[in-house]
Amino acid sequence: MNRISHWIDGQIVAGTSGRTSAVWNPATGEQQAELALATAEEVDKAVAVAKAAFPEWRATNLSRRAEVMFHLRELISANRKEIASLLSAEHGKVLSDALGEVARGLENVEFACGIPNLMKGGYSEQASTGVDVYSIKQPLGVVAGITPFNFPAMVPMWMFANALACGNTFILKPSEKDPSVSLFLAELLTQAGLPDGCFNVVHGDKVAVDRLLAHPDVSAISFVGSTPIAKYIYETGTRNGKRVQALGGAKNHMLVLPDADLDMAADAAVSAAYGSAGERCMAISVVLAIDSVADALVKKIEERIPAIKVGPASEPDNEMGPLITGEHRDKVAGYIDGAAGEGATVVVDGRDNAPGGGFFLNPSLIDYAKPGMKVYDDEIFGPVLTVTRVKSYAEGLQLINENLYGNGTAIFTRDGGVARQFEFDVQVGMVGINVPIPVPVSYYSFGGWKASLFGDQHMYGPDGINFFTRTKVVTSRWPDPATSAVDLGFPQNR
Ligand code: NAD
């Protein structure tokens, strides 16, 4: 059995805990590797290494740090197919989707190539007579990233590209379900010229996470995962004096108005609901259809479902792969059963004719879902799209704003005025106008509202730079004996 271990101080380090977890091949349902789970002492070792590497990396000049990012950009680009196949072998997503993930992750490395510009502070000459004031951004020290299974390449890149470029050293605790990409990226970082110890990967579960949350030498934690864990990470980390950003789950609604192009809306709903088997935090899981177009829209979505090719990533034509584990597949399937019992209508049941062997489920479509039903309220995180019928734009908006989550949303309409009003009123962090998956480009920042984000700073982009730096303000005067005098008054400018 293939064993997967940690990456500490520029090399693979075998785990010593004796505790392991299984890494599955979701397309076959077979175990393909055994992952070492770290002890608290192993986490301490990684933190000590990162702490020792920090002073030199922090002092490395900006051009040199940018150069490492430029080299990394080239290496990831040259290895994009290998990274994509590595991640789809453990995650199950099809190759085209995996390549898209790598490309969107790479954008963040490209953004970090601009670090000399991004680290600029401000300068005010002559703030007082002979006195200048300026602000500088400095790295925090050792920072950690804890990432989910659904984007094993992109989400780590959201975090470590900016963190390292800012001069921090980094500990990554990837998802235990698809851990191999993180080690491949560690090797590429070394090849790019990052000194040993600046980037470390510690595999593990709650034991490793809890040690990172408690370790006095970890200054900040960037987390992406489900809402209950995000809340726990935020509360525990901040209680321990750390800076924390913790992104959580989602239930993204797409509001379709009667004037929308219904074919375009149906294409978008199908793509955004079933892409990556619905295991995306920006997946559309609820379509809000205004009554007058609801029947037509449901029909158009239903018609498109049989054409979706479900199967393993090894077949290049497939469009949707399996779910991450057998347990998760069964949980998602349980919602289809539950929906009928709750009074919703199962239009397409994804349990019918799902490919055998792996953790497959076909796309499901459920109509007449309502708040209060589990199928509507819960984040299902699978290929299950529900439709809720609403009387008006106002009712649709109210449902979105009353939802626990506020990650992404979309409106489909031809009316620019209504779209603008929606953008103004909606209580959600990322909004699409005729765009179903509005993941911001890397020079904006990614983050939801409400239970989708705990913390103040969004992920990557300008917020990422803010998160991984702290500001120092210097007030400076060059001595001029001609203006020197004893003055016990409070310094003032007028
Ligand atoms: P998860 O919360 O189960 O795991 C995320 C990370 O936390 C993993 O590294 C895991 O090892 C660790 N973890 C799990 N349980 C823990 C515990 N009890 N104590 C400490 N650490 C623990 O999430 P997942 O299943 O890997 O990913 C899917 C979830 O992530 C979904 O809810 C999805 O919406 C969310 N997600 C959100 C975003 C976003 O940007 N908001 C992006 C991707 C995924």
Distance between CA 309 and CA 448 in Å, rounded? 31
- State in Å: Cα 148 to ligand 1 middle: 4
Would you state the structure tokens that stand for residue 8, as one six-digit string? 């500490």
Catalytic annotation on 281?
yes
- State in Å: Cα 225 to ligand 1 middle: 3
Q: What does the pLDDT read at residue 159?
A: 99
- Write the burial class of residue 77 (CB in 10 Å: 0-12 exposed, 13-18 middle, 19+ buried): middle
DSSP string, 308-375: --BS-TTSTT--B---S-HHHHHHHHHHHHHHHHHT-EEEE-TTTT--SSSS----EEEES--TTSHH
Per-position pLDDT tens, the chain of length 494: 899 999 999 999 999 999 999 999 999 999 999 999 999 999 999 999 999 999 999 999 999 999 999 999 999 999 999 999 999 999 999 999 999 999 999 999 999 999 999 999 999 999 999 899 999 999 999 999 999 999 999 999 999 999 999 999 999 999 999 999 999 999 999 999 999 999 999 999 999 999 999 999 999 999 999 999 999 999 999 999 999 999 999 999 999 999 999 999 999 999 999 999 999 999 999 999 999 999 999 999 999 999 999 999 989 999 999 999 999 999 999 999 999 999 999 999 999 999 999 999 999 999 999 999 999 999 999 999 999 999 999 999 999 999 999 999 999 999 999 999 999 999 999 999 999 999 999 999 999 999 999 999 999 999 999 999 999 999 999 887 887 889 898 888 77
Whether residue 183 contacts residue 154, with contact meaning beta carbons closer than 8 Å, is answered with no
Phi, psi of 41 (to 5 degrees): -65, -35
Cα-atom radius of gyration of the chain, to the nearest Å? 25
- State in Å: Cα 289 to ligand 1 middle: 30
429 CB near ligand 1 (under 6 Å): no
Residue ID of nearest Cα to ligand 1 atom 35: 225
Q: What does the pLDDT read at residue 492?
A: 80
276 CB near ligand 1 (under 6 Å): no
Residue with structure tokens 């090797």?
187
252 CB near ligand 1 (under 6 Å): no
455 CB near ligand 1 (under 6 Å): no
Would you state the structure tokens that stand for residue 326, as one six-digit string? 């057998």
Residue ID of nearest Cα to ligand 1 atom 23: 225
302 CB near ligand 1 (under 6 Å): no
206 CB near ligand 1 (under 6 Å): yes
- State in Å: Cα 371 to ligand 1 middle: 24
Q: Please report the atom of ligand 1 found closest to the CA of residue 225.
A: 30
